[in-house]
A and B are shown apart, each in its own frame.
Chain A
């Protein structure tokens, strides 16, 4: 391996796994995510999502009180009561996710038991599953890994030959990918998570899994346990990555390379012309990616290879070397890949290296902007439709826009320091 792999520990500046509820609940509108936690959990999700627009959001928090902690109330009974109250009010809900948090994990509240009991009670009407999104165990996108893992036991079995795309995609992107796989010659394509929580795809020995997101380690393992073959490929970000990703599936389905090329070549050519104006802005610019979403490696690969950016440091909260092998191989010799975080030391390095663009969390963006360093929010990358060859231009635009904007307003907002008074014609 040619990259320079480093590890760091210390204070982190990352979201916890609960944050992934923000996109999961949009993907499955018939599911409800009930966090069993504290006021902090409730405040975190609403702050991260800016959720005041919803009349009745499809997520909420069962806030533990002192009575629950002191054992005055049986937490299991309380959870039953809250779940019933919720489902009574929201009869359209078909799947209830009980989501563990830091406090519920620390007091060892058994959510699996609660899910089992509620499943018995609600048999047929609502399926209840559980997973942990706690900050002591999960970072940001790992919450989705937990949620999908919880669904796997509910997936029916099949021997049918099929392709399963795993990881939340924007609906339009999903449709497009299914359409393209069809043109290549793969007709049976399904997705996890599905658009309706009750329409879970089947899985079995005939299933080939393509991960759309790099953070689904446990999900991949559980799918393997169900007999599926999980491909390793570059992730479908950028034209090159998306192409390799689709080719990996085509190869597994033994579709001849010419057929694949005839579909994908024109798309790649079109993506390259979409990329061109952004490449002009990004080429030669230096980027520093702080760890948060685990998308950092594929993004770095795309930005370096397709946009000509120089990688100062690529942070990632965790590194699954096996799943990331192809991505690591595509990074230039000697790239610094930093697993884990010491946020203060990392910011020292940002200041020392003065990159042109920093990918970071929302808490850090404005302070860096105020220091004169352009930023891109990492959370935007998990919300935006960025997957696939057709999206390569849009993905590049997310990075070129901050730089373009700075150029647009720089001169007016930062005029050159005023000329000496004696050369000022008004005062002369």
Chain B
């Protein structure tokens, strides 16, 4: 039993719903009590879908449990098949149905239905949403394609060269309730087509059952979101010999690496880094003088595995930030995230407890947080700027405009959305110059008043925590601190306290403040 106040991922059957709802002609019969239908609103409200997810819930009640729930399952399967006439049927159970052991999938399999039936067994008490999505996608592909698998693996990803056609790849992994998948697909299609590479099938997003049957026609599979598609890509490689990419093209370095990987696998000459990278404005924006002020900004990163890893690389190599915290709630991605953190001299935080994440965030005293919507709220409480980089989805993460994370345009979007929450260089410079002017004195914070308010709250908390460590601010020290603009005061307070502790002082006066200033700017 685990106390959970909030959860990053839903149960695994919600992952299965994401696959069914992403595709066309696939229907999902979910053996579940009433109430589980709440999951529809994830799609129709958060993702703002204009149609219900293709799910039939058996909605059994207590009085059904004494009777024949198996017959109930069959009735709903029959009704769903008659009404929706799907090309493929997924049948599975939610947490409660798993306990009553009706074996809904096996029952449906025994009904002699004309379409393929995928029996989903998603252990609700040990697995979560992303795992459920990956497993469903894999089981569906396997069920539909296993009879097509060749006896001998003869697939040659370079075969297109002799067939008088352009190379062809599948994009695997984009799904509903995935972070910016809709826009990433467009961006990657555009990117590949610039390099003369065709996209065969995109799946699960927008794919039909017929599309799934066409998967083996591609030269290469692009694994866009490993959380969802890696197990499917691996099976397609094992069964059909189709290789798949391992680089996720988020950030300019990763996009370039991705292009090189794709070209090499397809037997093409990779593009030069110079030509490619300058397609994005991120390099110049990061090089321009205004961005000098971004140097060494302390960044705390938390999200799903794919986006957290990408963010760490971009922050360190492309924006010149210092990564002071890195973590993920995706246990399946713990290993690569641990390795990336270690390479940066950090210990990765692998957790699905948002309070633990918030505590780690506070302890790392970052200047910018890149996280999920929950970290956005935590950061707000701590008075820190934040940009959202990962699911779980919020209605704000499905913007009306095109807003990819992947490819060259994705890097542009990332530059804007991560840097804008920070003080821009010019602003910071001016504030340094004019900080003694009355506008910056407390009580005259003009339109920045709210930021001042939340900053003040964070400060009080810090002050309380320092009391425990018996650090005392003298009146003279407090007065000096007050002269510092409110929006950097919290940082100065923390730095000074860290400095005071490290030098064994238990009292902070104005001299300590200046000593600390000299220490940190040295």
Footprint of B on A, CB under 8 Å?
Answer: 10-19, 36-40, 42-44, 46-48, 51-53, 55-57, 59-66, 68-69, 73, 75, 78-79, 81-82, 85-86, 102-103, 105-107, 134-137, 139, 344, 361-367, 369-370
Contacts and interface: CB of A to CB of B under 8 A. Distances in A.
Given A56-B5, A65-B1, A366-B50, A40 B41 contact: no
Contact of B41 (A37, A48, A60): A48
Given A102-B95, A344-B83, A63 B1 contact: yes
B42 A38 contact: no
Max chain A CB contacts within 10 Å: which of B10, B123, B355? B10
B57 A11 contact: yes
Max chain A CB contacts within 10 Å: which of B6, B51, B373? B6
A146 to B, nearest CB: 13
A53 to B, nearest CB: 6
Interface in B488-506: none
Interface size class of B (residues with CB under 8 A): 35 or more
A103 B62 CA distance: 11
A175 B24 CA distance: 53
Contacts of A69: 99, 125
Contacts of B6: 42, 46, 51-52, 57
Given A11-B57, A47-B38, A64-B1, 20 more contacts: A12-B57, A13-B37, A14-B37, A38-B96, A38-B124, A40-B95, A47-B39, A60-B3, A63-B4, A65-B1, A68-B1, A78-B1, A79-B1, A82-B1, A106-B65, A134-B33, A135-B34, A364-B40, A364-B44, A367-B52
A107 B99 contact: yes
Nearest to A102: B96
Max chain A CB contacts within 10 Å: which of B1, B13, B51, B59? B1
A168 B65 CA distance: 32
Contacts of A43: 7, 10-11, 14, 38-39
B126 A65 contact: yes
A14 B34 contact: yes
Given A39-B10, A39-B11, A43-B10, A363 B2 contact: no
A122 B4 CA distance: 22
B324 to A, nearest CB: 22
B381 interface: yes
B390 interface: no
B94 A40 contact: yes
B38 A44 contact: yes
Contact of B58 (A11, A361, A367): A11
B228 to A, nearest CB: 18
Contacts of A73: 1
A79 B100 CA distance: 22
A376 B272 CA distance: 56
Interface in B29-70: 33-45, 48-52, 56-62, 64-65
Interface in B90-110: 94-96, 99-100
A362 B41 contact: yes
A300 B492 CA distance: 61
A248 to B, nearest CB: 33
A273 to B, nearest CB: 35
Nearest to B123: A66
Given A38-B95, A85-B3, A366-B44, A136 B58 contact: no
Nearest to B100: A106
B128 interface: yes
B35 A15 contact: yes
B379 interface: no
B100 A52 contact: no
Contacts of B7: 39, 42-43, 46
Contacts of B374: 52
B67 to A, nearest CB: 13
Max chain A CB contacts within 10 Å: which of B14, B37, B56? B37
B124 A363 contact: no
Contacts of A57: 5-6
A413 to B, nearest CB: 14
A331 B36 CA distance: 32
B238 interface: no
Contacts of A38: 11, 95-96, 124-125
Nearest first, the 4 A-B pairs at minimum CB distance are A16-B35, A363-B40, A135-B35, A370-B50
A363 B37 contact: yes
B3 A366 contact: no
A132 to B, nearest CB: 9
B428 interface: no
Contacts of A139: 34
A350 B14 CA distance: 27
Contact of A44 (B35, B126, B355): B35
Given A62-B1, A364-B44, A39 B76 contact: no
Contacts of B195: none
Given A43-B11, A43-B14, A366-B45, A136 B61 contact: yes
B377 interface: yes
A267 to B, nearest CB: 37
A331 to B, nearest CB: 26
B485 to A, nearest CB: 27
B44 A61 contact: no
Contact of A40 (B11, B42, B64): B11
A52 B373 CA distance: 8
B79 interface: yes
Contacts of B38: 15-16, 19, 43-44, 47-48, 363
A14 B35 contact: yes
Given A13-B37, A102-B35, A136-B33, A344 B44 contact: no
Contacts of B51: 367, 370
Contacts of B78: none
A86 B35 contact: no
Interface in B368-395: 373-374, 377, 381, 394
A59 B5 CA distance: 7
A57 B7 CA distance: 12
Given A40-B94, A60-B5, A103-B99, A136 B381 contact: no
A10 B61 CA distance: 11
Max chain A CB contacts within 10 Å: which of B1, B4, B35, B94? B35
A48 B199 CA distance: 38
B3 A53 contact: no
Contacts of A63: 1-4
A7 B66 CA distance: 21
Contacts of B45: 362-363, 365-366
Contact of B2 (A10, A15, A65): A65
Contacts of B5: 56-57, 59-61
